[in-house]
Structure 1
Amino acid sequence: MRTPLTSLAGLDLLSSAVIVLDADGSIIYANAAAESLLDSSFKSLTHQKLADLFLNGEELLAVFQQAVEHQFADKRQDLALERAGREPLQVHSIVTALDNPDTPVLIELRENVQQLKLDREERMLDQSKANKELIRNLAHEIKNPLGGIRGAAQLLEMELPERQLKELREYTQVIIKEADRLQTLVDRLLAPHRLPHIVGDVNIHEVCERVLRLIFAEFPHGLNIKRDYDLSIPEFRGDKEQLIQVVLNIAHNAAQALVDRIRQGDAELTFKTRVLRQITLAKVRYRLALDLHIIDNGPGIPSEIRNRIFYPLVSGRDGGNGLGLTLAQTFVQQHMGVIECESRPGLTDFRILIPLP
């Protein structure tokens, strides 16, 4: 039975979560929105210390101490409050110091997931545009001298005296082969901007099954594939070959990250499809969208590159060229969609969102 402080009962009408703490930092009041946000009843929240509800509660504890000491009247900040076994709670917090020794601090928490999502998408789009311009300029700057270097090496080989040809041809061939390797890399950088966008009807599950056959062929043992499909997803207009490449790039990266678990026999790769309704992608509202997840139980993306995985030439794997995710992002954006990624040890989830008719 809820027994709120009489003077605070009106806060139950607010849509944002409101929590009142005593001098020890324990909860003595939480409105209905706070119960919903924290997924706990008023009874279970009462007399718990707010900082103990979260793995990184020391951030809130530090602000609480400042409020008790009247270092500010109110303080606003965005927080990602971590919870055991659940996604972090993204909130905008307002901590207010009250002139009451029994209830010295009031905290208001407002979910800002949508705003954070929009900001993240906007940054990704800006980053992608900058990447494309950089790639185009860099590739063209490299392409012309490469042709000259290769041609000069061929001419040099032709001009070598017979007695030196056998001895020095090894070096001219190194130049030619390395020039060819760089030319291939440049062609891959320019490929998304050269290839035509061939539009047709796309069944996303046909795309997934095509990719799974390729993954099975390369990793026939020790990799458990899980399908969690929503077969009601309609066909949509798109470039099937581009989308196959998108899914293949992500799934192949996942399979390669699972090599240790594949040897142990407990590697899992999950393909999950759903339909989302009334979703905003890149500031445009859509009635329906495809929600495709490619999930693995590998070691996760290294923290030092986690925020840069879509940058060109960034790779967490020895021998990787760092272009797979860059191309995937470009192709998805050409379908008016976005790619998101969450990763931690034991779970990496790439999420592809594309508008549906």
Structure 2
Amino acid sequence: MNNTADRSFLITDSAAARLLENLTTAVLLLDAHLCVQYANPAAEQLLATSLIHLQQQPLNIFWDGADAHLSSLQHALLTQQSHTQREVRLRDPGSFRSTTVDYTVTPLSSTQLLVELQPLDRLLRINREDSLFAANQATRALVRGMAHEIKNPLGGIRGAAQLLARELSRAELLEYTEVIISEADRLRNLADRMLDARKPLAFKRLNIHQVLERVRLVIQAEVGNAIGIIRDYDPSLPELWGDMDQLIQVILNILRNAAQSLTEMPVRAQSLPRIIIRSRVLRQCTIGTHRHPLVCLIEIEDNGPGIDAAILETVFYPMVTGRSQGTGLGLPIAQSIMQQHGGLIECESRPGSTLFRVLIPFEPHADDGATLTCHDPS
């Protein structure tokens, strides 16, 4: 029996059947045991399962915190009252993927429940990226102003320390002036890094794998055999329009952070430290107000301890870092560079897995962009 036959058996009114078949809202019909009797195509797509496999399956296999939602559905069936749950996690039993949804339950009878699922991932992503870009614009101006203010007195401090050193004869006192000079130089380098993200870019056609390989070799030389770096490249990627030096800086910041997190806080003994570098194509991506037919996706994933949940939402803000030796400037600078390319960096993290996604339009636009929506890699 094919899917269409199954649906027509459950939805006898042809007009109603056509309506349900063409809705973009996921609709499920549950029986008294809360097992699926019907699912429209939108529900099949959301749950990544066909109607044939969904029928007679209990819906609770898809819930995170299934017991609470099972009680909620049973209560709706018992009281014959509709209700809505916000921001619920749906999981794919066959993988680690999950989706955030709002769902509304409507009793149709004492033995039937109608469940409507509204996916929220796209909306949540847009809201998150809107907030990120707005904060980045504000902090960029703050950091640039602060860098200028730091650099202004440093020249005077360094010069005075040099003059003082010429007047001192005792070696132990000269050590103090050397400390002053070296610390002034360190602060100047820090200020230069703050300002470096706004240098004019030198765009040209380039192969992103040349960028990835150069950075990989640098990091592999630093970590030796302590960390495995796995390459998962798509060799069919076309050349993109970008600044090679700046893209190297972006990838280097992310990859070095991953390597240092694995070095500073080693993972469990039975799990060897490793970093995966992937390259893929995303199709039909909208970044800001521009829709791109093709976008280059670079993923850098490590199996380290993960980023502290308390700072995960602010990792792209200046001076925010979870590492003892971190400055909190690498990721904000990388994000600023990607904005100049019309792209974006995203981050997901949980214990045992941290994933950075770098999205670079093959043909970037001049503006910074504000939001991102993409289809999955094909």
TM-score bucket of the superposed structures, by smaller chain: 0.7 to 0.9
**Residue of structure 2 aligned with 1:130, choices 127, 138, 152:** 138
User: Structure 2 counterpart of 1:181, which letter?
Assistant: R
The alignment status of 1:310 with 2:316, answered yes or no, reads yes
Query: Matched residue of 1:197: which SS?
Result: coil
1:180: which partner in 2?
Answer: 185
Identity %: 44
2:332: which partner in 1?
Answer: 326
* Equivalent residue pairs, number: 351
1:81: which partner in 2?
Answer: 90
1:336: which partner in 2?
Answer: 342
RCO higher in 1 or 2 (8 Å CA, sep ≥ 6)?
2
The alignment status of 1:234 with 2:238, answered yes or no, reads yes
Contact preservation (8 Å) 2:60, 2:70: yes
**In 2, Cα distance between the equivalents of 1:285 and 1:40?**
29
**In 2, Cα distance between the equivalents of 1:264 and 1:175?**
46
Query: Matched residue of 1:271: which SS?
Result: strand
The alignment status of 1:270 with 2:270, answered yes or no, reads no
**In 1, Cα distance between the equivalents of 2:287 and 2:350?**
25
Name the CA shift for 1:265/1:343 in 2 (closer, same or farther; >3 Å).
Answer: closer
1:90: which partner in 2?
Answer: 100
1:192: which partner in 2?
Answer: 197
Superposed CA offset, 1:192-227 (max 9, x none): 12x331222221111111111111211221332222
Q: What is the TM-score of this pair, normalised by structure 1?
A: 0.84
The alignment status of 1:116 with 2:124, answered yes or no, reads yes
1:202: which partner in 2?
Answer: 206
Contact preservation (8 Å) 1:17, 1:33: yes
Name the CA shift for 1:42/1:237 in 2 (closer, same or farther; >3 Å).
Answer: closer
**In 1, Cα distance between the equivalents of 2:184 and 2:219?**
31
Query: Matched residue of 2:313: which SS?
Result: helix
Listed as ranges, the matches of 1:4-153 within 5 Å are 4=10, 6=12, 9=17, 11-22=20-31, 25-42=34-51, 44-57=53-66, 60-61=69-70, 63-64=72-73, 67-68=76-77, 73-75=82-84, 77-83=86-92, 85-91=95-101, 93-98=102-107, 100-103=109-112, 105-150=113-158
**Residue of structure 1 aligned with 2:259, choices 255, 258, 262:** 255
Superposed CA offset, 1:298-357 (max 9, x none): 222222221111111111211111111111111111111111122223322211111114
Gaps of 5+ in 2: 364-378
Contact preservation (8 Å) 1:118, 1:282: no
User: Structure 1 counterpart of 2:353, which letter?
Assistant: L
**In 2, Cα distance between the equivalents of 1:139 and 1:71?**
63
**In 1, Cα distance between the equivalents of 2:315 and 2:214?**
25
User: Structure 1 counterpart of 2:118, which letter?
Assistant: R
